[in-house]
Amino acid sequence: MGLIQNIKEEIRIIRERDPAIHSSMEVILYPSFKVMLHYRFAHKLYKNGHYFLARWVSQRGARKTGIEIHPGAQIGKGFFIDHGIGVIIGETTIIGNNVTLYQGVTLGGTGKEQGKRHPTVGDNVMISAGAKVLGSFTIGENSKIGAGSVVLEEVPPNSTVVGVPGRVVKRANQSYPRDDMDQCNLPDPVLEDICNLQHANSVLTNRLLDLEEELRFMKKRVERKEEQHENI
């Protein structure tokens, strides 16, 4: 795809996904637009073995936008970064088509791997603000990562992940543990665990009170029998 086609495609993607954009001219000021032009050019240099020039171009884009994309990362079509400040994408990251990231997202490594050490993100994935995806594993297609989540292991396709560490709370058409979830109202696994513990504690407390009441009743019966026996 040539330069003009790349520019038209980036403008189309941003206008489709950001309702705050009212004209194509505004897109030119958008961080996602600027950084993707830098990335596409830097990636070509990287593939041709011009590693220093590739990093120089990518670092210029990072200084202008606050978005750091390593030129070695592989990014598919329809990629969009909303706002974007603080986004980091590592060298061996592979991103599919129609992926959306929000500000503060990190697609990084743990510092322990060699070779492929960054995530692979499937098609149509949304990763919300502040989420950290760390390590060499796959985020399955059509999945959502909740804001602030820390994902350290593979995510199946069609899943929603929230929490620290991240865990799957929805898969395909089945929800864990409730069915009224959407991307704006993600459940809080920690809160749900606390509520479950509170419920279990309440059940145990009520059972203990019942047993104490039974014990008092039996004790009174024994005392009455002893009194009757003494009277005889």
Q: Which of 49-53, 106-110, 113-117 has the highest mean pLDDT?
A: 49-53
User: pTM here?
Assistant: 0.69
C-beta neighbour count of 110 within 10 angstroms = 11
Pick the closest to residue 129 from 190, 69, 82 (CA basis): 82
Average pLDDT of every residue of the chain? 82
Span 198-210, pLDDT tens digits: 888 888 988 888 8
In whole angstroms, what is the distance from residue 21 CA to residue 14 CA? 8
Q: pLDDT tier at 181 (50, 70, 90 boundaries)?
A: very low
**Which tokens belong to 82?**
């909303």
Span 155-173, pLDDT tens digits: 888 888 888 887 887 666 5
Pair 123, 143: CB distance under 8 Å: no
Pair 108, 118: CB distance under 8 Å: yes
Span 11-20, pLDDT tens digits: 777 777 777 7
Q: Given this model, what pLDDT does residue 68 score?
A: 93
